[in-house]
Amino acid sequence: MAELNEEQEEAASFLEGICAVIAVPGSGKTRTMMERIGKLVKDHGIAPESVLGLTFTRNAAEEMRSRLIPVLGDQASRVMLSTLHSFCYWVLKSEGRVFEILSGKDQLIFMRNILKQLRIKNVSLGMALGEISLAKNNLITVDEFRDLYEGDKIGSRISDIYETYDLQKTKKMLLDFDDLLFEVYKLFSSHPAIKDIAVLYRANFQSRTIEEVFSRLKIPYHIENGVGFYRRSEVKVLLDYLRLIVNPDSEQGDEALMTVINVPNRYVSRQFSSDLEEFAQKRGIHLYDALKSMPIDVPYLRKFMKEFKKLLDPLIEDSQNQNPADLISLLRGALDYDRWISDEDIPSPDDVKIQNIDQLQLSASRYKDIQSFLEYTDSFEQETSNDKEGTALMTVHKSKGLEFPVVFVIGLLEGICPSKKGDIEEERRIAFVACSRAMKHLYLSYSLNYLGVPAKKSIFIDEAMGTK
């Protein structure tokens, strides 16, 4: 391999600070960059895992990898070389963010539906997506965009589209490619929040009661690297069944139907869903009415939709008299829901998702009608439950490597911590991890009852107190 020229060598040997290399295509930028990585690792002792190389396309990322192998040999595979979007996707997933990517045809359909919803005809699909993409790539938020185009008729309409587009994506836990960059920028540029208090628990389902009390008392909090209880997928699906049952002839009922129509799997394709929406729109009716009247040519779909309507029709008819906890129990049985979410022939009661819907049913038991319960679950305000400066709620596992001045470890019960299935020494180590997160004050707590039956205090409390 030919040696680097003087300018390439200068760029490859640069060490401290920021270096920008500006050069024409074919002038050896990629090779210079790979030689620079080689020098960092071999000459300066930088761990390959601490080096990040980013580019715009997959082909360019693969080219970087092939150029790095002659420089670093086996160590080349330990360097992260990626496209910008793949890297941002990895960062957000590593932070525990739950989302799916919205792109291509799905993004076009998504935006087209928003334009229809807002009844906007003077802004084309391409213009809407292009302007929003341009704004996000310039780090312009919805509010900033609105201020920027105040008094501009088209700009104001695009502001409405931008706002609705982001709200709808958030509801459905979707991010487009521009969001990946924008969200990581916000993550990297924000200063770490100062958290004075953390509440730790062994399993995710234990967060429900804490979230409910904090929400009721307007105490700001956030779930560290996780999702709030009523937003967890297995919980949200059952809530959407309730929303559809109590109010099928509404926009909320339409959204709920699109969530539950294929849960459990009824082999409903995107095309069928699109056809259903189009059928409803042309007739000015809501989706459940459309489902009952739309001809279905595919035999297996016709069979599944018939069973779906057979389940829901009597429940919808009697929805005003239904008890939400009993209805959740009925749905769990009729849908074989526990087996579906746990992916086990015989679902274990210790499965985290099963425990979550047990908690949902327990929460619902306090309400006499479905609507009141749904209003309660909808009352968890975003500003209260996603305040990064507020109390941090997290599992013990998520707390590793973190410390807080004040820590509450809750739910220390026999059967939970230590768990029924866990090795006692491993469970003791987990309890130690929880306790060692506290810098100044540590509170250990347990309840006298659990799921309506007397509970036994964890052995680890006595061990920590030196009484056993």
Percent of the chain beyond pLDDT 90?
46
Q: Which two tokens stand for residue 102?
A: 């919205």
pTM: 0.49
| pLDDT score, position 225 | 67
Rg of the chain in Å (alpha carbons): 27
Question: What's residue 94's pLDDT?
Answer: 80
Residue 159 has a pLDDT of 94
Q: What is the mean pLDDT of residues 263-275?
A: 89
Of 207-216, 281-290, 455-464, minimum mean pLDDT range = 207-216
What is the 3 state secondary structure string of the chain?
A: CCCCCHHHHHHHHCCCCCCCCCCCCCCCHHHHHHHHHHHHHHCCCCCHHHCEEEECCHHHHHHHHHHHHHHHHHHHHHCEEEEHHHHHHHHHHHCCCCCEECCHHHHHHHHHHHHHHCCCCCCCHHHHHHHHHHHHHCCCCHHHHHHHCCCCHHHHHHHHHHHHHHHHHHHCCEECHHHHHHHHHHHHHCCCCCCCEEEEECCHHHHHHHHHHHHHCCCCEEECCCCCHHHCHHHHHHHHHHHHHHCCCCHHHHHHHHHHCCCCCCCCCHHHHHHHHHHHHHHCCCHHHHHHHCCCCCHHHHHHHHHHHHHHHHHHHCHHHCCHHHHHHHHHHHCCHHHHHHCCCCCCCCCHHHHHHHHHHHHHCCCCCHHHHHHHHHCCCHHHHECCCCEEEEECHHHCCCCEEEEEECCCECEECCECCCCHHHHHHHHHHHHCCEEEEEEECCCCEECCEECCECHHHHHHHCCC
Structure tokens at 198: 């953390």
Nearest to 174 by CA among 76, 103, 254, 96: 103
Amino acid symbol at 454: P
Is the pLDDT assigned to residue 285 strictly greater than 50? yes
Average pLDDT, stretch 261-277? 89
Buried b (16+ CB within 10 A) or exposed e, 413-428: bbebbbbeebeeeebb
Q: How far apart are CA 338 and CA 364, in angstroms?
A: 17
The predicted model gives 116-145 an average pLDDT of 92
For residues 237-250, average pLDDT: 93
Q: Give the lowest-confidence range in 107-116, 139-148, 185-194, 315-324.
A: 185-194
How confident is the model over 27-32, as a mean pLDDT? 89
Is it the case that residue 400 has pLDDT exceeding 70? yes
Tokens of 312: 């829901």
Averaged pLDDT for residues 327-339: 92
The mean per-residue pLDDT over the stretch 123-129 comes to 92
- Model confidence pLDDT, tens digit, residues 373-385: 998 888 765 545 5
Residue 195 has pLDDT above 70, yes or no: yes
> Does position 193 have pLDDT exceeding 70, yes or no?
no
Q: Which of 97-111, 125-139, 240-254, 362-376 has the lowest mean pLDDT?
A: 362-376
Strand 453-454 versus strand 449-450 pairing type: antiparallel
Residue 383: its pLDDT value, please?
44
Burial 111-144 (b: 16+ CB within 10 A, else e): beebbeebebeebeeeebbebbeebbeeebebee
| Residues facing 404 on adjacent strands | 438
Plot region of 380 (φ>0 → left; ψ -120 to 50 → alpha; else → beta): beta
**Confidence (pLDDT) at 223:** 83
Q: What is the pLDDT of residue 398?
A: 87
What is the mean pLDDT of the segment spanning 68-81? 91
Please write the tens of the pLDDT for every residue from 442-453: 999 988 887 778
